Amino acid sequence: MKKFRWQIIAVLLVVALVGLLAGGCGGGSSSGGKDTVKVGIILPLTGSEAMFGEMEKNSFELAYEELKAAGKTTVGGKEIKLMYEDDQGKQDVAKSATEKLVNQDKVNMLSGGYSSACTNVIAGSAQTLNTPFLVVTGSSDDITKKGWQYVFRGSAAPASKYTISFWDMLEKVVKPQSVAIIYENTDFGTSGAKGFREECNKRGIKIAFDQAYEHGAIDFKPMLANMRSTNPDMIFATSYVMDASMIVKQMKELDFNTKLFVGNGAGYTMPEFYENAGAATDYVASTALWVPNVTWPGAADYFNKYKQKYGKEPDYHGAQAYATMYIIADALGRAKDMTNTGIQQALKQTDMMTIMGPIKFEDWDGYTNQDRPNTYVVQWQKGKLEVIWPEDVKSASYVYPAPKWSER
Amino acid sequence: MNMLNKKFLLTIAFIILAVLIPVVIKAPYQLHILILIIIWAIIGTSWNLLGGYAGQVSFGHAAFFGLGAYSAGLLTLHCALSPWWGILLGPLVAALAALPIGMICFRLRGPYFALAMLALGEIFRLVFLNLTDFTNGAKGILIMPAITNKMFYYYTGLGMLALTLLATYLIVNSKIGYYLVSIREDQDAATSLGIPTTLYKNLALLPSAFFTGLAGAFYMNYVAFIDPNIVFNLTNVSVMVILVVMLGGVATTWGPTIGAAIYIFLGEYFRTTLGSANVLIFGILVCLIIMFLPNGIAGELDLLKRLTQRKKASLSGGV
């Protein structure tokens, strides 16, 4: 009987091994020969981030179709082929996906990367494997601060730089004496809060309240009540969409008035924010990387096309993916050869206009291959997201200070 | 004697097979999958010593895994030492953290240990998330691995797995092992025979935490990025290890290794072939295995054997 047990184990092991090998061969043969240029794209297509992953995948496809119609998906006689991998929002899986794309599917370059954790891991592996990687969304500062030559970030800003135009507006309009900072306890949240905090200290603005909360919390009232007692001129919040809606709704319920509530992008600019929180969103401002009514060529077109094709409104995540596809096609079109260094150099020399604004990979302020981001300040006004700063691209005038809840 | 010999020979064959795999499979992607399997096999085997043999179910092995990983990560972050030193430090830190928990909880009966471990994992996650000056908080620790050769990681991991399996085997087949099983089966009877139950439960917990910490430190070196939400994760670490062991076979020597191999391999296979439905189908499959093979694959070999034999019998009967 024991003998039998061992036989079974041996058989199982052999089956697993054969499976591994077969999986390897299968993947290899299906990848379509030598006349394609393969771009591996790693996105969260399942799991809690799937909504964004799907939006980015759709946007990649949309851009690819447009490029194809313009004949730009064939470079040097080879067709660009997009290969998607699902990272499930887990970093182990992101690493597996990277290994598979580079070592087995032999992709020429990588793109994608939604959450900061997954993007970190993909970036590290890509650098190790000398494979160019163009980040779509991952915004952790560290990713482009390691001096990694093969890692590029174009359409995404480092989290601590989301606030450039916002500071311009604070200096010229708001001039706050004291601020409150709240943020979700994630890489994105802490990076964003850290950048803002350092800037406040530099400018001598008093930080009256500074607290992290657990991502996905339900009851923000104790935190909001504590914050109210410190009476800040302005609130700066970094949250994803569900938390963002809860926070502003509960502020309304508590009749907590503040001159200006500013969200740090993410949840505060999404259509779902207004759908969930309704009138409580009025006069909430936010930093933003992109809005459909921004003046860059093609932005409004992209928004309308996406809405028509997929029946949903895209937000800046989709725009990042769309712009990234154009950057990839541009770089591959210019690359001397399809080797890792050839593509790396072509990316490095990128200088083009996209719906996210001009893209150029530069080394500055400790960053490597990082585009200088264009940022905006937007404000919800009667359910519409208006650009209020910088003033030369504004779509509506700012409302400051925000009227009290009782006077609306 | 004969049977023991067979078992010994098969173990040797398995070791030779494991050592030779990278000679056959040189592709880094396949090696990567094997390395992940090894990491989970180490955690599973450690969990099995405590949860399988001693019957003390832990819902918080992520605490030890995370401590191991962070020991390696923090050495690099603060002391600029190679994270490989974490391989030495991580297991010790994990075992040290296990000591007070065991001392307190093992005096109690019932679900206290399971609940305390569940809490412990979450406490560590929150502490490491909020001690931002010390741990970098949610930003995590990102390093550039000095060694990138997959073969090296494979053999290092394999050595660790061998060590873990050997330690577990020796413990289980010593007096301690029999005591542990007796505690699992009937604690009152064990006590009446004069077995100091609290002590022996601790003697299972310490090596379990130690080797889980080892896996954590190795993970940090291999994946090169950690943050508290990853390594102290309740579902992706603590619960996953239980699933791995249940799939393979609770309280069997090779069960956790088989479980890890099946879990990781199938998970990856489904992910690359089934598109967006992959998680759903994988989940259903795991449910089915646990429903129909409640003792895991290594634990239900008798059943599998009977099934195949009955099939053979009916076949021959038909002819």
Asked if B225 lies within 8 A of A117 by C-beta distance, the reply is: yes
For residue range A185-231, what is the model confidence (pLDDT) as tens digits? 888 888 888 888 988 999 899 999 999 998 878 899 999 999 999 99
Contact A314, A55 (CB under 8 A): yes
How confident is the model at residue B1, as a pLDDT?
A: 52
Show the domain range for A383: 161-288+375-407
Measured between CB atoms, which of B236, B269, B301 is closest to A19? B269
Distance CA A72, CA A80 (A): 9
Cα–Cα distance for residue pair B137/B129, rounded to 1 Å: 4
Q: Is A117 within 8 Å of B140 when comparing Cβ atoms?
A: yes
| Least confident interval from A160-164, A319-323, B139-143 | A160-164
What is the DSSP track for B84-124? GGHHHHHHHHHHHHHHHHHHHHTTS-TTHHHHHHHHHHHHH
Contact: B13, A2; criterion CB under 8 Å: no
Answer yes or no: are the C-beta atoms of B97 and B67 closer than 8 Å: yes
Q: Of B2, B6, B7, which Cα lies nearest the Cα of B173?
A: B7
pLDDT at residue A24, as a whole number: 41
CA pair distance B204, B104, nearest whole angstrom:
15
**B162 domain-assigned:** yes
| A352 assigned to some structural domain | yes
The answer to whether residue B146 neighbours chain A at the CB level (below 8 Å) is no
pLDDT at residue A1, rounded to an integer:
46
Q: In this structure, is residue A311 part of a structural domain?
A: yes
The pLDDT score that the predictor gives to residue B298 is: 81
- Quick check: A289 pLDDT over 60? yes
Judgement on whether residues A251 and A390 belong to the same structural domain of the protein:
yes
Q: How far is the C-alpha of B313 from the C-alpha of A20, rounded, in Å?
A: 33
Rounded CA gap, A348 and A152, in Å? Answer: 8
Among B14, B27, B261, CA closest to B151: B27
Separation CA A180–CA A232 (nearest Å): 6
A4 within domain boundaries: no
If pLDDT is split at 50, 70 and 90, which confidence band does A165 have? confident
Tell me the C-alpha to C-alpha distance, in Å, between residue A32 and each of A21, A64, A299, B21, B306: 19, 18, 34, 28, 45
Render B151-207 in DSSP notation, one character per residue: HHHHHHHHHHHHHHHHHHHHHHTSHHHHHHHHHHH-HHHHHHTT--HHHHHHHHHHH
Is the ipTM higher than 0.90? The answer is no
pLDDT at position A124: 92
Decide if B256 is inside a domain: no
Q: What are phi and psi of A43, to 5 degrees?
A: -140, 155
DSSP states of B33-64: HHHHHHHHHHHHHHHIIIIIIS----S-HHHH
> Which chain B residue lies closest to A89 (C-alpha atoms)?
B230
> Which of B139, B254, B257 best tests the A interface by mutation, with the highest count of A CBs <10 A?
B139
CATH no. for residue A125? Answer: 3.40.50.2300
The residue whose two tokens read 């062991």 is: B245
Please judge whether A8 and B305 are an interchain contact, meaning their C-beta atoms are less than 8 angstroms apart.
yes
Same domain, A263 and A277: yes
Residue A104 lies in a domain: yes
Which is nearest to A58 in space by CA: A270, A355, A271, A312?
A312
pLDDT band at A20 (very low <50, low <70, confident <90, very high): very low
CA–CA min distance B139, chain A (Å): 4
If asked whether residues A206 and A324 sit together in one domain, one would say: no
Half-sphere exposure of A80 (CA within 13 A, CB side): 28
Distance to chain B for A400, nearest Cα, Å: 34
Q: Is the peptide bond before A222 cis (omega within 30 degrees of 0)?
A: no
Q: Residue B298 domain-assigned? A: no
For A135: left if phi > 0, alpha if psi spans -120 to 50, otherwise beta; the answer is beta
In tens, the pLDDT along A338-357 reads 999 999 999 999 999 999 98
pLDDT at B128: 93
Q: Which two tokens stand for residue B121?
A: 């994992």
pLDDT at B274: 82
Do A144 and A64 lie in one domain? The reply is yes
Residue of B nearest to A9 (CA): B298
Which of B10, B32, B262 is facing A96, going by the closest CB pair?
B32
Contacts of B221 (CB under 8 A, 6+ apart): B72, B83, B84, B86, B87, B145, B153
User: What are the CA-CA distances from residue A356 to residues A116, A359, A385, B187 (Å)?
Assistant: 20, 8, 17, 67
pLDDT tier at A11 (50, 70, 90 boundaries)?
A: low
Contact B298, B82 (CB under 8 A): no
**B263, part of any domain:** no
pLDDT above 70: residue A16: no
Same domain, A190 and A276: yes
Lowest mean pLDDT among A30-39, A40-49, A311-320: A30-39
Size of interface A-B (CB pairs under 8 A): 143
pLDDT score at A3: 52
Do A267 and A379 sit in the same domain of this protein?
Answer: yes
Q: Which residues of B touch A189 (CB under 8 A)?
A: 138
By Cβ distance, the residue of B34, B144, B265 closest to A124 is B144
Chain B 88-107, CB below 8 Å of chain A: which residues? none
Return the structure tokens found at B182.
Answer: 């007796």
Residues A393, A250 share a domain: yes
Please report whether residue A254 resides in a domain: yes
Cross-chain CB nearest to A120 (options B140, B268, B304): B140
pLDDT of residue A21: 44
Q: Are residues A64 and A148 in the same domain?
A: yes
Helix (H) or strand (E) holding B73: helix B61-79
Distance from CA of A293 to the nearest CA of B (A): 33
Q: Are residues A305 and A203 part of one domain?
A: no
Among A2, A142, A191, the residue with its CB nearest the CB of B6 is A2
Determine the straight-line distance between the first and last CA of chain B, rounded to whole angstroms.
38
Q: Judge contact between B298 and B289, C-beta under 8 A.
A: no
pLDDT < 70 positions in chain B: 1-3, 310-319
For residue A98, what pLDDT is reported? 94
- pTM of this structure: 0.82
Domain that holds residue B140: 28-240
Q: Which two tokens stand for residue A384?
A: 């519409």
What is the rounded radius of gyration, in angstroms, for the C-alpha atoms of chain A?
Answer: 23
The tally of domains found in chain A comes to 2
Q: Which of B4, B5, B32, B40 to mutate to test the interface with A (most CBs of A within 10 A)?
A: B32
Q: Are residues A247 and A140 in the same domain?
A: no
**What sign does the CA torsion over B261, B267, B270, B271 have?**
negative
Partners of A92 on chain B (C-beta within 8 Å) are 36, 223
**Which pLDDT score is estimated for A208?**
93
What pLDDT score does A346 carry? Answer: 95
User: Which of B11, B30, B122 to mutate to test binding with chain A, by most A CBs within 10 Å of its CB?
Assistant: B30
Residues A344, A266: one domain? no
Helix (H, G, I), strand (E, B) or coil at B135: helix
Q: Scanning every residue of chain B, which has its alpha carbon at the shortest distance from the alpha carbon of A44?
A: B276
What's the rounded Cα separation, in Å, for the pair A190 and B138?
Answer: 7
B130, B272, B280: best to mutate for the A interface, most A CBs within 10 A: B272
Q: Which two tokens stand for residue B237?
A: 């670490």
Residue B67 lies in a domain: yes
| Number of domains composing chain B | 1
CA–CA separation, A211 and A193 (whole Å): 9
In a domain, B64, yes or no: yes
pLDDT at A32: 45
Q: Which two tokens stand for residue A164?
A: 């450039």
In a domain, A10, yes or no: no
B46 belongs to a structural domain: yes
- Pick the residue of A185, A197, A238 with the most B CBs within 10 A to test the interface with B by mutation: A185
Residues A134 and A203 placed together within one structural domain of the fold: no
Residue B140 forms part of a structural domain: yes
Q: Is residue A11 part of a domain?
A: no
Q: Which two structure tokens, joined as six digits, stand for B192? A: 């009446």
Are A8 and B301 within 8 A, CB to CB? yes
Q: Is B25 on the interface with A (CB under 8 A)?
A: yes
- Spatial distance between the Cα atoms of A97 and A45, rounded to a whole number of angstroms: 12
A6 falls in which pLDDT band (50, 70, 90)? low
